[in-house]
Amino acid sequence: MNSDTFDVIVIGGGLAGLTSAIHLAKSNFQVALIEKQGYPKHKVCGEYISNEVLPYLKFLDFDPFEFGAKKITDFELTTHNNKKIEARLPLGGFGMSRYEMDFQLFNRAQKSGVQILQDTVEDVQFSDDIFQIKTKTNRTLTSKITIGAFGKRSNLDIKFNRDFIKKKSPYLGVKIHVSGDFEDTKVALHNFKGGYCGVSKVENDHINLCYITNYESFKNYKNIEQFQEKVIFKNEALKTIFSSSIPQFERPLTISQISFETKNPVENHMLMCGDSAGMIHPLCGNGMGMAIQSAKLASDLIIRYLKADIDNRQALEDLYAKSWNKTFRLRLRVGHTIAYLFRQDWLAPKLLVLLRRLPFLVPLIIKMTHGKPIKI
Ligand SMILES: Cc1cc2nc3c(=O)[nH]c(=O)nc-3n(C[C@H](O)[C@H](O)[C@H](O)COP(=O)(O)OP(=O)(O)OC[C@H]3O[C@@H](n4cnc5c(N)ncnc54)[C@H](O)[C@@H]3O)c2cc1C
């Protein structure tokens, strides 16, 4: 095989890209992964990961607890007017920063023989059953299969003229790590007018504070500090955490244009994984779980295709689209409905009263936005 020809090329080295690359390299295929950023790097993310991915991570020889991930078993929710509910998480999860998790998976991928290139993919052409990938540094690579794992928004979405990229999205995300007091075993979702903030601890004992809001709420304030003081601090739990902790970043990380529009799981013959295929509302805390699970779905089918157990490309694409929709479509819909209901300031406190009266509903709702432990 020529040095720039691979069985599989993975575009994007977040959780979906890294886990699929490790899976395929472990099965002895020649895999290249192209990631535009270096490792390690902080990302805007709540950093609470559902335990449903643990069996699959074990299969990939990756144990998050080896790197100090926090076991999370308890859930707390407050409304913007400070009503609170607590519950035990049905399956639980763990807290690990993206800085550490992506970096350790990158190390694991290198050990498995994945060729990792730091470069930006600028074009993907498909003809004669072969993908040709062009990068910013003028490299051309070819492969039998390409996985699109380039996240929620990429230059390639514009290149492929994907529908969601044509619509403006009102959501933005802000994240900061702080040091202070917070239970290791808890993930909290504190709502404020126009958004919510996730709080949980990560491997190095820092507390991750990550919130999502919309421009409508944000635009009336001069800067993040003023927005936090005037809007976020109306939630007493958030006021306490923000004002009693010490920031560990020079300034918060921000991202904009977070879109929850429907996307296709197959695009230009690429199998799309993670946020590139569809994004669940972060309120559900399951985007990373879905990214990792979609990597497994794609990898299992790609292995069958490369071993000629699936006859042709159309069959591969149909099988992937079908299994992606079956596994995730309902989760996405439920997640977006819950987020919509909690965004209605008049309704959220009423919902909370209902959940307090019928507490068995909380784990049921969480289960509807999560999957079962991934079967190997
Ligand atoms: C505010 C917020 C809070 C969240 N909180 C949680 C949470 O608590 N729990 C949870 O499970 N999920 C959460 N999520 C969702 C979670 O962050 C995503 O679902 C997850 O990161 C998806 O992983 P991915 O691999 O698909 O994408 P990413 O991690 O975004 O990786 C995509 C990669 O592709 C690279 N890339 C893009 N274009 C190119 C290109 N052309 N060439 C090369 N590389 C490219 C990017 O640099 C990036 O590294 C949250 C999301 C947001 C926005």
Give the mean model confidence (pLDDT) for residues 231-249: 97
Question: How does the average pLDDT of the chain come out, rounded?
Answer: 94
pLDDT of residue 80: 85
* SS3 of residue 94 by DSSP: strand
> What tokens appear for 38 in the block?
């270096």
What is the CB < 6 Å shell around ligand 1?
Answer: 11-17, 34-37, 44-49, 120-121, 149-152, 154-156, 173, 198, 210, 212, 258, 274-276, 282, 285-289, 291
Residue 165 DSSP class = G
Q: Go through the chain and tell me how many residues it has.
A: 376
Give Cα 180 distance to the centre of its chain.
Answer: 26
Give the mean model confidence (pLDDT) for residues 274-301: 94
Specify the higher pLDDT residue, 283 or 70: 70
pLDDT of residue 3: 64
pLDDT surpassing 60 at residue 345: yes
Q: What percent of the chain clears pLDDT 70, i.e. is strictly above it?
A: 99
Residue 34 alpha carbon, nearest atom of ligand 1: 43
State the DSSP string of 30-54.
Answer: -EEEEESS-SS---S---EEEGGGH
Nearest to 149 by CA among 325, 290, 10, 327: 10
pLDDT surpassing 60 at residue 207: yes
Specify the higher pLDDT residue, 71 or 349: 71
Stated pTM of the model: 0.96
Residues 162-197 have pLDDT tens digits of 999 999 889 999 999 999 999 999 999 999 988 999
pLDDT surpassing 90 at residue 369: no
Q: Are 146 and 270 contacting, i.e. CB atoms less than 8 angstroms apart?
A: yes
Among 39, 175, 288, 328, residue to substitute to test ligand 1 (most atoms within 8 Å of Cβ): 288
pLDDT surpassing 60 at residue 1: no
pLDDT surpassing 90 at residue 360: no
Residues 91-104 have pLDDT tens digits of 999 999 999 999 99
pLDDT of residue 2: 52
pLDDT band at 355 (very low <50, low <70, confident <90, very high): confident
Beta carbons within 10 angstroms of residue 371's beta carbon: 17
